[in-house]
Amino acid sequence: MRTALLATAVALVLGACQPVPKSSTPPTAADLAEGATAVPSTLVAEAFLTPMTPADNIDSPASWRGADGRLWLIATAKATDKLVVYDGQTGRHLRDVGSTGTALGQFDRPNGIAVQDDLVFIVERDNHRVQVLQLPDFKPLGVFAGNDLRKPYGLWVNPVQGGYDLYVTDSYDDGEDAAGNDILPALERLNERVRRYHVTVNGDEVQARLVRSIGDSSPKGALRVVESIWGDPANDRLLIAEEDETYASEFKVYNLAGDFSGETFGRGLFKAQAEGVMLRTCGDGGWWITTEQGKQRSTFHLFDRKTLAPVGSFHGNTVANTDGIWNSQQVSARFPQGALYAVHDDQGVVAFDWRDIAKALSLPQECGQ
């Protein structure tokens, strides 16, 4: 019965996903901050869908390219407390890593994941920590932030001289109400929504120092419900998704030091929860790729890297209810200009060929690394 229902649901989504002409006059970033009408979305077919594993509750993906050219797609499985590893060019399942627990190499509800160099950084919500593994062997190197984090979700890793600056979102609450909904803390207590650490890795040793707790207390700048985060060092920007739909689905713009810039965008564009965010560079330009987490269909909205003006939107044939995304600009035979990976309905991961996205939205296909 479950299989039949799933097949019916997928068929309905496929039938609804038809190309829509793009608007010739898209709203500006300022328009969207004030609640402008959404721009149309264009169909882009997925390159692959990994095997579906509903029991895993897949949350977020990342990718890694080895020196030998192999491309791995690594996703967190928050229900089964492990990492699921796929072939990044075909979606074929390769292996699982980890188990439930608190020891090194074990996880408790892993959520956010990022790969930088040969290191994997994993945010564990219920272990209240960040764990670091070394590729290709997934060798556990260490954990940190266990004394600071309460309900962490997402992260961004910024390579800097002497190590890494790591930003971790923390969506702590004041318990639950009678209906089981999280109680949002008062605005003045949202000043630790993001934790910034300086991390060094020397051989098998990981050291981390808390640099700053981040969170504005003004109504416009406050981070009410947070998961996804990404940064742009060249433009001194930190984008944080506001996921409190009772307030707004939008992105808050902070600087890398952790101060609110006064700017938000996307409020009029997102009709469902604002989720994943990544930056695809193209020379000194590029595009912010963001996710609208529709239950029946995920829509991906692109914004200009510098102006934050909307560039275009697209959706797939299948992908829906997307949590995390990962932009890969790593060259491979299957994806010579890179790929966008997106979680599908907590059960698997889809891939989009950047060439297909660029063609659909009239963007440059070749941008370098």
Nearest to 324 by CA among 97, 127, 110: 110
pLDDT of residue 268: 86
Residue 298's nearest CA partner among 308, 309, 290 is: 290
Per the listing, tokens 């399942």 go with 93
Q: What is the pLDDT of residues 307-326, one digit of tens each?
A: 999 999 999 999 999 999 99
315 residue type, one letter: H
User: Which residue in 277, 273, 367 sits closest to 324, CA to CA?
Assistant: 277
- Of 20 and 177, which is predicted with more confidence? 177
Token pair 């296909």 is found at: 365
Return the pLDDT at 56: 98
How many residues can be counted in the chain? Answer: 369
* Residue 247: exposure state from Cβ atoms within 10 A (0-12, 13-18, ≥19): middle
* Strand-strand pairing, 310-315 and 42-43: parallel
Q: Give residue 270's pLDDT band: very low, low, confident or very high (50, 70, 90).
A: very high
Q: How far does Cα 72 stand from its chain's mean position?
A: 17
- Tell me how far CA of residue 70 lies from CA of 10, 194, 274, 319, in angstroms: 31, 34, 32, 25
Average pLDDT, integer, range 16-26: 39
Q: Specify the range with the lowest mean pLDDT, choosing from 34-43, 139-148, 172-181, 295-304.
A: 34-43
- 313 closest CA partner among 281, 271, 348: 271
Q: Which of 110, 138, 88 is nearest to 341 (CA)?
A: 88
Q: pLDDT at residue 157 above 70?
A: yes
Q: What number of CA atoms fall less than 13 Å from residue 56's CA on the CB side? A: 27
Model confidence at 296, in pLDDT bands (50, 70, 90)? very high
Residue type, 245: E
Tell me what pLDDT residue 10 has. Answer: 39
- Is 158 within 8 Å of 167 (Cβ atoms)? yes
Does residue 23 surpass a pLDDT of 70?
A: no
DSSP state, 246? T
Tell me the per-residue pLDDT of 338-359, one tens digit each, with 9 for 90 and over.
Answer: 999 999 999 999 999 999 999 9
For residue 180, the one-letter residue type is G
Are 290 and 251 in contact by the 8 Å Cβ rule? The answer is yes
Q: What percent of the chain is modeled with pLDDT above 70?
A: 89
Across the chain, mean pLDDT equals 91
Residue closest to 289 by CA, chosen among 325, 331, 253, 319 = 325
Specify the pLDDT at position 365: 81
pTM of the predicted model, to two decimals?
0.90
Looking at 31-35, 166-170, 348-352, which range is the least confident one?
31-35
List Cβ neighbours of 70 (8 Å cut-off, separation of 6 or more): none
Q: How far apart are CA 75 and CA 53, in angstroms?
A: 12
Tokens 């992908």 sit on residue? 319
Which residue, 254, 327, 310, is CA-closest to 41? 310
Task: pLDDT band for 199, please (50, 70, 90 cuts).
Answer: very high
Locus of tokens 């109680």: 183
Q: Is the pLDDT of residue 235 over 60?
A: yes
Work out the pLDDT band at 28, boundaries 50, 70, 90. Answer: low
Structure tokens at 344: 């599908």
Judge whether residue 99 has pLDDT over 80.
yes
> Which of 2, 6, 10, 5 is CA-nearest to residue 319?
10
Closest CA to 300 of 311, 313, 287: 313
Q: Which of 163, 184, 164, 165 is nearest to 173 (CA)?
A: 184
Q: Is the pLDDT of residue 13 over 90?
A: no
The predicted pLDDT at position 222 comes to: 98
> Which domains are assigned to the chain?
42-361 (2.120.10.30)
